[in-house]
Amino acid sequence: MTYKEHFQKVAEKTYPMSRAYNTAMNVGSFGIHKALNNRALQGQVNEGTKPWTKDQGDVMSKMKKEDNGKKYPISRFLQHPATWAASGLVGGVTDAIVKNKTVGQGIGQGLLGAGIGAAANYGGAYLNKYTHARALKGRAEKGRTGWGERERDTLKQLKK
């Protein structure tokens, strides 16, 4: 087996790019990003909602519901793609208003900016959910212990 074949085989199971992306997001948010993602994922499992991606479904199927019944609504709200899209929409409209000094002149630009901002943020949220699930699978495959209590529990469940 060549080095390239070996690396491809290992990369398929451990998802190094998803782990790197997720770590970069976590460092930029001083650890809040990973905690929110893990709480939101556990809340989805506790509530029994449908996963956003296939990888997220794989992770959720191995996780068990918590006995405390918490659904973590704030974490799920903050990590929902529609929330990210709304923040992009507000940013696009605000940018157009600030540039044109009035609401009336910037309607066309505001709508364009709102659409672009919403689409970009929705795509970013979807990418975040996709890479978070793959990063969890990769960390479990590599035998990592996790940063917080919730992630440790999740990784233990994925290793089984």
pLDDT in tens, the chain (160 residues): 786 676 666 666 788 888 888 888 888 888 788 888 888 999 999 999 999 889 899 899 988 888 887 899 999 999 998 998 998 888 887 877 777 766 666 677 777 878 888 899 999 888 998 898 999 988 888 888 888 888 888 888 888 7
The domains of the chain are located at 15-159
- The reply to whether the predicted model has a pTM over 0.85 is no
DSSP, res 50:
P
Give the Cα separation of 79 and 17 in Å (integer).
21
User: What does the pLDDT read at residue 77?
Assistant: 92
**Helix ranges restricted to H, the chain:** 3-14, 16-28, 32-47, 54-62, 73-78, 81-100, 107-142, 149-159
